[in-house]
């Protein structure tokens, strides 16, 4: 392959149109333009532009006994939808997923409204073109009028939607994030539904990894109690008024949570940081389960 290679490793793969039910061992090679799966008796090339979905661990039920750490690529071939499943060790699959998403997303021209909403107020900024970049749990958007980035640790929600921008309806992603004390909503319009789906998949993957890493933050029962009390009380409420612990003890707990970057002091009082909100949401989900 003459173009630049961005991933090259040995693993196992399976294609939905293979005659054998067993995966085969071979070489997996990725360039910005194509994915090549080369076994002893089989070689398949999947153009990057034909891929419409990428998922880790999403293996058809009949194939689960054959795969442990896997990545599934869904693509179109002559009007038919097909799947390629790649298996390797977990670190290799994680790195492969990252470079695969970057190959799809980095450098794509998108339309941006930033911010489309500030706090509870709708803003109507000009729609601008920008170059999309994904790296280190960050979305970057660079244009002739300036650049900005969204740290995924500050994201509280994202939704797929259709937006009327520059005279036409476009597949878009609405990203709600809180870089400081004020919630912002940024609208990113992608060139196609395929690109929107891949960006959504990337965000879900990175966000789930972030949630998992934050779930390892050591918290005492008292610290969890204080976090949930702040979450439930809302902005502008003094935690000392709602936590059933004496004031001096609560202050000590708040100082410890601030050191872990889970709470912050603002003009409106003590609030959860974006990381604090993620931790609280995950703890509440555990309770509900």
Query: Which residue, 253, 187, 184, 264, is CA-closest to 224?
Result: 253
**Domain 109-214: CATH class, spelled out:** mainly beta
pLDDT at residue 256 greater than cutoff 70: yes
Measured between alpha carbons, how far is 26 from 37 in angstroms, rounded to an integer? 7
Average pLDDT over residues 139-150: 91
Tens of pLDDT, residues 12-23: 999 887 767 788
Query: Which residue, 99, 89, 126, 95, is CA-closest to 111?
Result: 126
Tens of pLDDT, residues 81-124: 999 999 999 999 999 999 999 999 999 999 999 999 998 899 98
Helix H or strand E segment including 76: strand 70-77
Q: What CATH architecture does domain 7-105 belong to?
A: Roll (2.30)
**pLDDT at 205 (0 to 100):** 86
Measured between alpha carbons, how far is 223 from 234 in angstroms, rounded to an integer? 17
Measured between alpha carbons, how far is 224 from 9 in angstroms, rounded to an integer? 43
- Looking at residue 49, the DSSP 8-state letter turns out to be G
Boundaries of every domain in the chain: 7-105, 109-214, 221-288
Q: What CATH architecture does domain 221-288 belong to?
A: Orthogonal Bundle (1.10)
Q: How confident is the model at residue 1 (pLDDT cuts 50, 70, 90)?
A: low
pLDDT at residue 160 greater than cutoff 90: yes
pLDDT at residue 133 greater than cutoff 90: yes
Which 3-state string (H, E, C) describes 265-276?
A: EECCEEEECHHH
Q: What is the mean pLDDT of the chain?
A: 87
Average pLDDT over residues 176-196: 89
User: Are the beta carbons of 270 and 238 closer than 8 angstroms?
Assistant: yes
Query: Which residue, 96, 45, 48, is CA-closest to 70?
Result: 96
**pLDDT at 165 (0 to 100):** 92
Do the domains 221-288 and 7-105 match in fold?
Answer: no
Average pLDDT over residues 229-239: 72
């Amino acid at each position: 392959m003459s173009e630049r290679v961005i991933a090259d490793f040995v693993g196992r793969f399976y294609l939905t149109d293979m005659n054998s039910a067993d995966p085969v061992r071979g070489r997996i090679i990725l360039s910005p333009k194509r994915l090549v799966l080369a076994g002893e008796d089989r070689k398949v090339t999947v153009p990057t532009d034909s891929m419409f979905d990428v998922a880790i661990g999403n293996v058809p039920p009949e194939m689960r006994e054959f795969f442990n750490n896997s990545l599934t690529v869904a693509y179109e071939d002559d009007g038919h939808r097909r799947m390629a499943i790649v298996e390797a060790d977990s670190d290799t699959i994680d790195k492969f997923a990252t470079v695969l998403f970057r190959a799809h997303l980095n450098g794509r021209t998108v339309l941006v409204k930033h911010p489309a909403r500030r706090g509870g107020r709708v803003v109507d900024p000009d729609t601008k073109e920008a170059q999309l970049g994904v790296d280190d749990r960050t979305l970057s958007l660079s244009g002739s009028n300036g650049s900005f980035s969204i740290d995924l640790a500050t994201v509280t929600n994202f939704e797929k939607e259709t937006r009327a921008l520059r005279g036409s309806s476009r597949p878009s992603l609405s990203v709600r994030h809180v870089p400081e004390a004020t919630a912002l909503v940024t609208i990113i319009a992608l060139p196609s539904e395929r690109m929107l789906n891949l960006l959504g998949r990337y965000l879900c993957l990175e966000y789930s990894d972030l949630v998992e890493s934050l779930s390892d933050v050591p918290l005492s029962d008292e610290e969890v109690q204080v976090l949930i009390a702040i979450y439930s009380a809302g902005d502008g409420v003094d935690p000392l008024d709602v936590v059933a612990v004496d004031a001096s003890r609560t202050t000590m707990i708040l100082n410890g949570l601030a050191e872990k970057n889970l709470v912050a002091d603002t003009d409106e009082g003590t609030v959860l940081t974006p990381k604090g909100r993620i931790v609280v949401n995950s703890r509440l989900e555990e309770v509900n389960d």
